[in-house]
Amino acid sequence: MQQEVIIAGFGGQGVLFAGQLLSYTALDEGKEVTWFPSYGPEMRGGTANCTVVISDEEIGSPLVNRPTAVLAMNLPSLEKFENLVKEGGVLVVNASMVNREVQRKDIKIVSIPANEIAMELGSERATNMVMLGALLGNLDLLSLEAVGAALDRHLPERHKKLLPLNKEALRRGAEYKAEAIETA
């Protein structure tokens, strides 16, 4: 099994951290992994995305043309990556930052008000974990428990106080389920 995930948004939204967390979790689970970041020179506020490939077997390339899943943290990310998702794949859309409907009908769509959920939990900075939770709740990739354990092991000491918030954000995101795929 090989799954390819693109996480995309503005710099400062935790896009790269979410990808790193997926990668660390997969490594901890004994999987083969690549993590490939891409960001504009502006960093915070500029565009950022990363590609994570997780496999049971050796990975041939970190480059992905048709990802299994995309997390679109904002409208520009949806515009750029919506058409790339593999048929039957998962598209997680941050409805807080996207003001249009997804056009595709051959993929699972999870539209989640991630910013609002993160704010309910106490910090908008948890939006990336809400989005990641929504992905994990809709794609057989890694378990929430494994990702929570990876947070425990890999979160820098200065951020350990954020563990409960991040774990709750993951759990809340996982509660959102994809819309059914339309069949002809």
Confidence (pLDDT) at 43: 54
Give tens-digit pLDDT for 82-103.
999 999 999 999 999 999 999 9
DSSP class of residue 155 equals S
**Mean pLDDT confidence for 158-183:** 90
Give tens-digit pLDDT for 41-75.
655 566 799 999 999 999 998 899 999 999 999 99
Bridge-based pairing of strands 32-39 and 47-55 is antiparallel
Confidence (pLDDT) at 159: 87
Give the CATH number of domain 2-174. Answer: 3.40.920.10
Query: How far is 117 from 105, CA to CA, in rounded Å?
Result: 26
Confidence (pLDDT) at 1: 87
Domain ranges of the chain: 2-174
Percentage of the chain modeled with pLDDT above 90: 85
Q: Which distant-in-sequence residues (6+ apart) come within 8 Å of 48 by Cβ? A: 8, 9, 10, 11, 13, 15, 16, 37, 38, 39, 40
